[in-house]
Amino acid sequence: MDILTNSLALSRLQFAFTAIFHMLWPVLTTGMAIYLVIVEGLWLKTKNITFYHHARFWSKLYVLNFGIGVATGLPMAFQFGLNWAPFSEAVGDFFGTVLGFEGTMAFMLEASFLGIMLFGWERVPPLVHWLSTFLVAIGANLSTFWILSANSWLQTPSGGEFVNGKFVVQNYFAAIGSPFMVNSFLHMFFATLETSLFVIGGISAWCIFKERNREFFAQSLKIVLSLIIIVAPLQIFIGHLSAEQVYHYQPTKLAAMEAQWETIPAGNSPGWSVIALPNDRLEKNDWEIKVPGVLSYLLELKPRLENPVKGLKDWQSKDRPHMIGLVYYSFRVMIAIGVYFAALMAVSLFAWVRGKLTESKWLMRGWIFAAPLGYIAVEAGWIVRCVGRQPWLVYGQIRTADAASNLPPGEILFSLGGLALMYFIFFGVTLFFGSRIILKGPDQELQPPQFGKIRFIPDRRPAEII
């Protein structure tokens, strides 16, 4: 196989694999941290012990995911240098700065207060504990911000210019706030929140379905639903804004997302392709099904296109993305999931208003089905974003092919093989332990923490875990 001797392909494969796998964990912990802040806050405000039990129960799933998120993040932090040395050198002045900021502002904050959040229940006053949970959530979401700022710059480089292939920064704030940054950050912020909420909602629905701690989980489902009412529609709106920006700034990516080979001139009213079979060799779709007249509404909210939609054939093969089918279907999968989430929210809200939220078995099945979908949508979105950006690493400036280190393929196989083996094992183990935590259910006998009574107790993990 060619790929085994091609270090560029192997480096790309390793980055894609480690990034896709890493994403599975922080996407949950980042969003779930916000949920934990809310339930702990509700406990402090209402003094209702059930909210405390919620905080303790869900934080068990949280911490199970957190450790793997940290562990799988390590290769991400070093991979730019390990496999992409020419890239690191060319853009380090800006890109490295942002990663440095992420470490100092986000990771350290999250990591330091995590200890107090997990083990400090009886060591600090309740308000300080809540503040620690809050700072963990802030830390996690700040790292979303910095990662999306860095990635957005790869999509829409700004704030300086390339001199002899090296990026010279002229305005740091313009580089941090590149055109894609705001929408991309918001899209990812809501993606982590929405994914976590549907995971919590899905688990709650399963427990309701199986008649396990029905009241407890009905409560978490209601908290989730109250937030989803805002999040699900807003996410579709921000997604729409992001796609509009792609249309404006990255025409090659938009053409790949739509599997559009020929340019559509302005003034037309083209259809939106729903299913197609793109054929990269013949540079056309073998077949496709279109909804007539919709594309101009999607892109410009107008009945007729004001600007042309460029087709892939406008560029030479080396200047446009390939794997069109992957980009095209990833995009549609993400949209379908976003719409499903909004529809599920609407149906559930209707049932809730009628006081029958937890009674319909079918509705609960709909929520259980939704639990893994957020992850799929997030990964699909990142595939659109980064495969669609090809052949560029920095859009229009640095080609991926020129950015890779000249490593012996054996070295990359060694790291990729080792990481892949570990990651698959972790994935299985986490599902196993996670399902055990869910099956065991919340400990509703747990007494509230006794801060102040035991002043100098020794270190210990929460009694319930032991």
Partner 1 sequence: MEPLQPLQEFLPQVWFFILGLFLFFYVLLDGFDLGVGILSLTASNEERRSILMTSLGNVWDANETWLILMGGSLFGAFPLAYATILHALYIPAVIMVVGLILRAVSFEFRENAENKFIWNVTFGVGSFVAALGQGFALGSVFEGITVDEAGHFAGGIWDWLTWRTILVALTLIQGYVLIGSTYLILKTTGELQATHYKTATIATWTTLIGAVFITVSTPVLSEQAREHLFSQSLIYVFETIPLGGILLVYLLLRSLRNREEVTPIVWTFLLFSLSFVGLGLIIFPNIIPPSITIYQAAAAPSSLVFMLTFIGFLIPIVLAYNIYNYVVFRGKIVAEQLAE
**Nearer to partner 1 among residue 94 and residue 375 (C-beta):** 94
Q: Which of 4, 165, 436, 441 binds partner 1 (CB under 8 A)?
A: 436
What the block records as the tokens of 196 is 């976590």
Residues 147-206 that bind partner 1 (CB under 8 A): 168-169, 172
Residues binding partner 1: what is the number (CB under 8 A)? 76
Given a contact cutoff of 8 angstroms between Cβ atoms, the answer to whether 168 and 160 are in contact is: yes
User: Would you state the torsion angle of the CA atoms of residues 241, 245, 247, 249, taken in this order, to the nearest 10 degrees?
Assistant: 180
Residues 283-312 that bind partner 1 (CB under 8 A): none
Q: Closest approach of Cβ 200 to partner 1, in Å?
A: 19
Give one DSSP letter per residue of 66-133, joined into a string: HHHHHHHHHHHHHHHHHH-HHHHHHHHHHHHHHHHHIIIIIIHHHHHHHHHHHH-TTTS-HHHHHHHH
Q: Closest approach of Cβ 30 to partner 1, in Å?
A: 15
Residues contacting 127, CB < 8 A, separation 6+ = 44
**Nearer to partner 1 among residue 112 and residue 397 (C-beta):** 112
Q: Closest approach of Cβ 410 to partner 1, in Å?
A: 8
**Nearer to partner 1 among residue 300 and residue 411 (C-beta):** 411
Q: Closest approach of Cβ 128 to partner 1, in Å?
A: 9
**Nearer to partner 1 among residue 9 and residue 346 (C-beta):** 9
Residues 53-72 that bind partner 1 (CB under 8 A): 63-64, 66-68, 70-72
Q: Closest approach of Cβ 32 to partner 1, in Å?
A: 15
Give one DSSP letter per residue of 220-278, joined into a string: HHHHHHHHHHHHHHHHHHHHHHHHHHHHHH-HHHHHHHTT--SPBPTT----EEEEEEE
Residues 404-433 that bind partner 1 (CB under 8 A): 405, 407-408, 411, 414-415, 418-419, 422, 426, 429, 433
User: Would you state the torsion angle of the CA atoms of residues 233, 236, 241, 247, taken in this order, to the nearest 10 degrees?
Assistant: -160
Q: Closest approach of Cβ 155 to partner 1, in Å?
A: 20
Among the listed ranges 292-300, 323-331, 384-392, 451-459, the one in contact with partner 1 (CB under 8 A) is: 451-459
**Nearer to partner 1 among residue 115 and residue 267 (C-beta):** 115
Phi and psi at residue 293, in whole multiples of 5°? 70, 15
What the block records as the tokens of 433 is 């332990």
Residues 350-369 that bind partner 1 (CB under 8 A): none
Given a contact cutoff of 8 angstroms between Cβ atoms, the answer to whether 178 and 159 are in contact is: yes
Could you give the CA distance from residue 385 to residue 433 in angstroms, rounded to a whole number? 32
- Which DSSP letter does residue 301 get? S
Given a contact cutoff of 8 angstroms between Cβ atoms, the answer to whether 92 and 403 are in contact is: no
**Nearer to partner 1 among residue 94 and residue 331 (C-beta):** 94
Residues 386-405 that bind partner 1 (CB under 8 A): 405
Q: Closest approach of Cβ 49 to partner 1, in Å?
A: 20
Give 353's Cβ-side CA count (13 Å radius).
7
What the block records as the tokens of 139 is 């830390």
3-class DSSP string for 306-317: CCCECCHHHCCH
Q: Note whether 459 binds partner 1 by CB under 8 A.
A: yes
Q: Note whether 136 binds partner 1 by CB under 8 A.
A: no
Q: Note whether 437 binds partner 1 by CB under 8 A.
A: yes
Could you give the CA distance from residue 120 to residue 135 in angstroms, rounded to a whole number? 14
Q: Closest approach of Cβ 9 to partner 1, in Å?
A: 17
Residues 62-121 that bind partner 1 (CB under 8 A): 63-64, 66-68, 70-75, 77-78, 80-82, 85-86, 88-105, 107-109, 111-116, 118-120
- CB-based burial, 121-143: b 16+ in 10 Å, e otherwise: bbbbeeeebbbbbbbbbbbbbbb
Residues 215-254 that bind partner 1 (CB under 8 A): none
**Nearer to partner 1 among residue 66 and residue 395 (C-beta):** 66
Residues 317-336 that bind partner 1 (CB under 8 A): none
**Nearer to partner 1 among residue 234 and residue 401 (C-beta):** 401
**Nearer to partner 1 among residue 118 and residue 383 (C-beta):** 118
**Nearer to partner 1 among residue 97 and residue 279 (C-beta):** 97
